[in-house]
C-alpha cells in the first residue's frame, strides 16, 4: 500500500540452457530479462479473467483461507531490460514486448 514498485528477473540459468552451453549464470550469454513496474489491484471488470487464469494454473489456491484478505493484482510493466550479450543492457519498451507474436 505504501510502495507498489516491483521488479522481476527471469534468467536462462533457470533452464538447462546455460549448463548445456557451459555458461556461468553471471555470464551475459546466460541471458536474463528484468521487468520493472508496479503492482496494481485489478478492477471489477478484470477480476473474472484474473481468477480464471490463476485458478486454472493453481487450482489449490481457490481453497486458500479467505480471511487472509487475498486480492487479485497485475504487474503494470513500465521498463524492460535485457542482458543477453556483452556491452550492456538493451532497453525494450512495454509496447515492443507486447507486440511480439509468438
- Residue 43 included in any domain: yes
| Domain CATH for 72 | 2.30.110.10
pLDDT tens-digit series, residues 50-62: 999 999 999 999 9
What total number of domains does the chain contain? 1
Neighbours of 90 (CB within 10 A): 12
Residue 51 lies in a domain: yes
CA-to-CA distance for 10 and 84, rounded, in angstroms?
A: 12
Give the pLDDT score at 36: 98
Q: Rounded mean pLDDT of 61-87?
A: 93
Whether residue 90 lies inside any domain: the answer is: yes
The model's pLDDT over 90-101, given as tens digits with 9 standing for 90+, comes to 999 999 999 999
Whole-model pTM?
0.80
- The residues pairing with 57 across neighbouring beta strands, listed in sequence order, are none
**Contact call for residues 42 and 73 (beta carbons, < 8 A):** yes
Cα(82)–Cα(79) distance, integer angstroms = 10
Query: Which domain does 19 fall in, by range?
Result: 3-97
Amino acid at each position: 500500500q505504501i510502495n507498489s514498485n516491483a521488479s522481476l528477473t527471469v534468467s536462462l540459468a533457470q533452464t538447462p540452457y546455460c549448463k548445456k552451453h557451459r555458461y556461468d549464470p553471471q555470464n551475459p550469454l546466460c541471458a536474463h530479462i528484468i521487468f520493472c513496474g508496479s503492482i496494481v489491484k485489478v478492477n471489477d471488470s478484470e477480476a473474472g479473467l484474473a481468477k480464471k487464469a490463476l485458478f486454472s494454473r493453481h487450482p489449490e489456491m481457490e481453497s486458500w483461507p479467505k480471511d487472509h484478505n487475498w486480492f487479485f493484482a497485475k504487474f503494470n510493466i513500465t521498463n524492460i531490460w535485457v542482458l543477453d550479450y556483452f556491452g550492456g543492457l538493451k532497453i525494450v519498451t512495454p509496447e515492443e514486448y507486447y507486440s511480439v507474436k509468438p
